[in-house]
Amino acid sequence: MEDKRFLEELVKRYVANALSREELDIFFRLMAEGKLDEPLAKQLDQEAGAETESVIPLRRQPWIAVSRTFRIAASVLLVLTLSFFIWKHNAFQLFGNTISVTTDKGERKEIKLPDGSTVWLNESSKMEYPRHFAEHQRKVVLLDGEAYFDIKRDESKPFFVGASGTTTRVLGTAFNIRSYHFLKSILVTVTRGKVEVERAGGAAAPERKILLPNEQVSYDVRTREIKKVNVNSANAVAWKEGRLLFDNESFANVIAILENKFDVKIQAEESIREYHMSAEFASTDSLPRILDLLSLANNLEYRLENNQITLSKKRRPI
């Protein structure tokens, strides 16, 4: 049980707008569990100053009369305000024992899990995890998108990440998972430690791959083929530093990523989609700049009309 003084101090620091991001995460979790009801009510009573009606300033707001009825209403309003804040910013949405975290385009989030592990969620992503891990295991689900996991080691409680037909198992390590619904394959890349990636069995027996640093597993969602290659793992997590990096990426994947990022449609003949390329951009670069550089490097040209882009091979002058 959380210490009573700790809960009261947490509420006071919230009212003073002095909580760190990690402390805010704790505050919202405890509030959802109902453990802050008493300290919140006590804080409101202290601000009211007396049992009878009186006049007090409320967090630098205009002077108002505060009664017991008002304090009850204010307590309800505070909870509603916090709930709206969570919904408005699309942050930690609570459904029973599950917390759902999503990111918008151009948005990245850092998440502290109940065991002290850290997850960085890339843009256009969604992840779910329990408010409290089970006794013998820790499990989260990457429903869509990309995430970098830095997992706190606990040999008694292995850590699992489910993502589109794959399960990644670790004891304590750092790795990246890219599992966007608009891409044909899932990538798991290790930057530190060791992980085990398992493809769901279905009719066939499950297939497992063990990964060490600078190794990557690619799982084709359609063919269910799983293969391991050596990579520079730093490239897989360049997005954490605000870089859009393609490392020997198929043009088909590049097109899908740009379509999702900029809400456009890109048409290209099949021979272009089969190209493989490497390039790096800032995540803030405009679509025209990216297309200009990609076209120049791959002898292509593009046409933009009605929010639709057509890529084609550059014609040779006659």
Average pLDDT over residues 124-129: 96
pLDDT, tens digit (0-9, with 9 covering 90-100), for 70-86:
444 445 455 545 544 54
Check pLDDT > 60 for residue 18.
yes
More confident residue, 28 or 296: 296
Task: Show the tokens assigned to 252.
Answer: 């088909």
Q: Which amino acid is at 150?
A: D
Q: Which residues pair with 185 in a beta bridge?
A: 220
pLDDT at site 25 = 65
| Highest mean pLDDT, choosing among 138-142, 163-167, 204-208 | 138-142
Query: Can you give the pLDDT at residue 1?
Result: 43
DSSP code of residue 205:
P
Residue ranges and CATH numbers for the domains of the chain are 1-43 (no CATH), 97-239 (2.60.120.1440), 242-317 (3.55.50.30)
The answer to pTM > 0.75 is no
Above 60 in pLDDT, residue 283? yes
- DSSP class of residue 97 equals T
Is residue 188 scored above 60 in pLDDT? yes
Handedness of CA 284, 287, 289, 292 (dihedral sign): positive
**pLDDT, averaged across the chain:** 82
Average the pLDDT over each of 35-44, 69-78, 234-243 and give the range with the smallest value. Answer: 69-78
CA distance 33 to 2: 12
Task: Render pLDDT for 240-270 as a digit per residue (tens, 0 to 9).
Answer: 999 999 999 999 999 999 999 999 999 999 9
In this predicted structure, what is the pLDDT of residue 199?
85
Least confident range from 30-44, 113-127, 258-272, 287-301: namely: 30-44
d(CA 218, CA 229): 8
C-alpha distances in Å from residue 247, one per residue of 38, 45, 142, 213, 256: 53, 59, 23, 17, 15
pLDDT of 90 over the 50 cut: no
CB 43 within 8 A of CB 14: no
Task: Please report the pLDDT score of residue 63 as a whole number.
Answer: 32
Unique residue bearing structure tokens 């991001």? 21
